[in-house]
Chains A and B, each alone.
Chain A
Amino acid sequence: MKKETWKELTLGTINLNAGNSVQNLTGTWRSGKKPQFIEDKCIQCFFCWLYCPHHAIEVQGEEVKGIKYDYCTGCGMCSEVCPPKEKAIVMVKEEIKLAERSSK
């Protein structure tokens, strides 16, 4: 990201670029574990969508379809709230090299 200086600031620090934080990929914070979506176990209750703090549940049309790893921080909420006995979201180990992560 190119750093803006004070010369580029809008007067009154008004930000006209609504919703531009989508450029911040919070998925780069994830460390150690990540959720895995198992589609045929999903009962489409949308609890994961509600309880994911980082807007990382992929919804297509009227269905939960997976995880947006660009935003997922690996907190585990989605898996915890998934109701079926055999959960449709399970947390799995993830090894990431720090160098790879920061180059993203």
Chain B
Amino acid sequence: MAKLKDLAQMEDRLVAGHGMCLGCGIPLIMKIVLRATEDPLIVANATGCLEVCTTIFPRTSWNISWVHSAFENAASTIAGVESMYQALKKKGRIPQDKKVKFLGIGGDGGTYDIGLQALSGAMERGHDIVYLCYDNNAYANTGGQRSSATPVGASATTSPSGTQSPGKLQRRKDLTKVMAAHGIPYAAQASPGRWKDLYNKAKKAFEVEGPAFLNVLCLCPTEWKYDEAKGLQLAQDAVDTCVWPLYEVENGKYKINYKPRKKKPITEWLKPQGRFRHLFKEENASVIQRIQKEIDEEWEELNRLAGFSQQK
């Protein structure tokens, strides 16, 4: 079992001096994921907060090989790197016993939306890569436009709340399930509030042969508009309200990794965040009811899937 004290002894693959916001959740995720393999690692990064804030020329926060090509193709970039590596191995230019791991990273905009085609292709072709999506529910780096990961009722710059609208009207895309439907060996959902679970999932993702997908909820005080010091509580509440269930799909089998003893009401998650503030006005009470109903249905559905998997 990993201990934080031991992880802290490992070399930082992403170092200090990056420009991410006060209280940002991305560095927390990276601190764990980049330590989940001891093998050399190559990263391809889609545009977004992580990419922009860690590579402001002439500086870089990356201590390992890192590639950026465009917003929409982190998955094809890393798939290309992996193919080249396999080809060089075949030609004997890289020793047979050399182990290298490949990681593609994107935000929810770069993954759920514009990068989905590239990601789907890479997963289908079966590259031996890990793809990590840090889902902060918005296009944060360009000022908080809504993405297909933005939840119902959230106010974003392109789905603003006001007299005519209670924020975003459409449901989130359930990307983890979409990825699992590719029949890949490993797909999982994690939260930085439960670091051991995140570490175990990242380790598994690196260890399986073939493509693996990790979807990690990412705190974003800037776009979610909460007190930046209070992120950990929020990350816990996301799993305790079942807004962000922790589960994994291994070779088609669903497994729930954490079931709250008592599911918290959705308001615990909504209340501290400014992007949901308008929902607590009387006229928007039905929106909160809708959100609670949809979360309950999704949680039941997930339990059903996990139940089927047990019977298999």
Partner-B contacts on A (CB < 8 A):
4, 13, 15, 17-26, 29, 44-47, 49-56, 59, 62, 68, 71, 73-77, 79-81
B244 interfacial by beta-carbon distance below 8 Å: no
Residues of A within 8 A of B16 (CB): 21-22, 24, 26, 54-56, 68, 71
Residues of B within 8 A of A46 (CB): 3-5, 7-8
B260 interfacial by beta-carbon distance below 8 Å: no
The residue of chain A having its C-beta at the shortest distance from the C-beta of B4 within the complex is A46
Partner-A contacts on B (CB < 8 A):
3-5, 7-9, 12, 15-28, 31-32, 54-64, 195, 228-233
Asked whether A71 lies within 8 Å of B8 as measured between CB atoms, the reply is: no
Given known A-B contacts A17-B60, A80-B229, A81-B232, A24 and B23 have beta carbons under 8 A apart:
no
Asked whether A22 lies within 8 Å of B229 as measured between CB atoms, the reply is: no
A-B contact count (CB 8 A): 114
Asked whether B9 lies within 8 Å of A62 as measured between CB atoms, the reply is: yes
Among candidates A4, A25, A49, residue contacting B4 with C-beta atoms closer than 8 Å: A49
The interface centre, meaning the residue of B15, B195, B229 with most chain A CB atoms within 10 A of its CB, is B229
Residues of A within 8 A of B54 (CB): 21
Name 15 A/B residue pairs within 8 A (Cβ), A-sorted.
A19-B62, A24-B18, A25-B17, A50-B4, A50-B28, A53-B23, A53-B25, A53-B26, A55-B12, A55-B27, A62-B9, A71-B17, A77-B23, A77-B229, A80-B232
Q: Give complex CA distance A75, B64 in Å.
A: 27
- Known contacts A18-B63, A46-B5; can you find 14 more A-B pairs with CB under 8 A? A24-B56, A44-B5, A45-B4, A46-B8, A47-B4, A49-B8, A50-B4, A51-B231, A53-B23, A53-B26, A71-B17, A75-B228, A77-B231, A80-B233
The interface centre, meaning the residue of B16, B17, B23, B26 with most chain A CB atoms within 10 A of its CB, is B16
The DSSP consensus for interface residues of chain A is loop
Closest Cβ of chain A to B207, distance in Å, is 22
Closest Cβ of chain A to B56, distance in Å, is 8
The residue of chain B having its C-beta at the shortest distance from the C-beta of A52 within the complex is B27
Q: Give complex CA distance A27, B186 in Å.
A: 40
Asked whether A22 lies within 8 Å of B231 as measured between CB atoms, the reply is: no
The 10 closest A-B pairs by CB, nearest first: A76-B229, A21-B17, A24-B17, A46-B4, A55-B16, A75-B22, A21-B61, A19-B63, A21-B59, A53-B27
Residues of A within 8 A of B32 (CB): 50
Asked whether A20 lies within 8 Å of B229 as measured between CB atoms, the reply is: no
Residues of B within 8 A of A18 (CB): 60, 62-64
Residues of B within 8 A of A25 (CB): 17
Among candidates A44, A50, A53, residue contacting B22 with C-beta atoms closer than 8 Å: A53
Q: Give complex CA distance A75, B27 in Å.
A: 13
Q: Give complex CA distance A44, B4 in Å.
A: 10
Q: Give complex CA distance A57, B55 in Å.
A: 22
Residues of A within 8 A of B15 (CB): 19, 21-22, 55
Closest Cβ of chain A to B65, distance in Å, is 9
Closest Cβ of chain B to A101, distance in Å, is 16
